[in-house]
Amino acid sequence: MAKIKNIILIGFMGTGKTSVGQILAKKLNFIFVDIDELIEKILGMKISEIFTKFGEPRFRDFETEIIKLITKKKRQVIATGGGAVLREENMAQLKASGVVFCLTAPENVIFKRVRQCKNRPLLQVENPEQRIRALIKKRMPFYEKADFSINTDGLTPEEVADKIIKEYKRLIDGKAQSRAT
Ligand code: S3P
């Protein structure tokens, strides 16, 4: 491989960033960093508690701080929270430090994957399905800034990881054009 860049996973909640990221890191012998997990560790609180105690804007500030720190290091697979793409400065840092892959899935698949989870404060509403639809619509232009987009529907996390590795290797060997799959 010519240049070793970080691999950054962005995408909506429930698209598999954490499970794919862990497999990817193992396969490439990279360090795996989950931004949300790191925030939870540093603050000693679950994401849901952080939202309750500090509110979303403060959570976004923590997220930006951690992204700034983490993107300085190399040989990492970085899984971001679904809303990390919303701040331009986050996206700029992420893009500068690596190749950005957006994981996608159909709304109904996302809903099935996240409906039991109590640690996603933005979805603790009366109609989570409607919220998912609205958030995806709003965030689509931000997710589209990724270098690659991978539809995870019908694929195992391992298969998604293999697709990413293939594109990553092609890209850093200078053979790939960014595109959606
Ligand atoms: C969020 C996604 C979550 C977490 C927080 C906010 C979002 O991460 O950062 O609940 O705004 O989409 P996951 O995408 O890992 O669930």
> How does pLDDT run across 78-100, given as a tens digit for each residue?
999 999 999 999 999 999 999 99
Half-sphere exposure of 93 (CA within 13 A, CB side): 21
Q: Is 36 in the pocket of ligand 1 (CB under 6 A)?
A: yes
Q: What percentage of residues in the chain have a pLDDT greater than 90? A: 90
Residue 133 pLDDT class (50, 70, 90 cuts): very high
pTM of this prediction exceeds 0.85 = yes
* Structure-token pair, residue 165: 């590795």
Q: Is 128 in the pocket of ligand 1 (CB under 6 A)?
A: no
Quick: pLDDT tens for 63-81: 999 999 999 999 999 999 9
Tell me the C-alpha distance between 83 and 143, whole Å: 10
- SS3 state at 71: coil
Tell me the C-alpha distance between 92 and 94, whole Å: 6
Q: Is 110 in the pocket of ligand 1 (CB under 6 A)?
A: no
Segment 157-173 shows an average pLDDT of 94
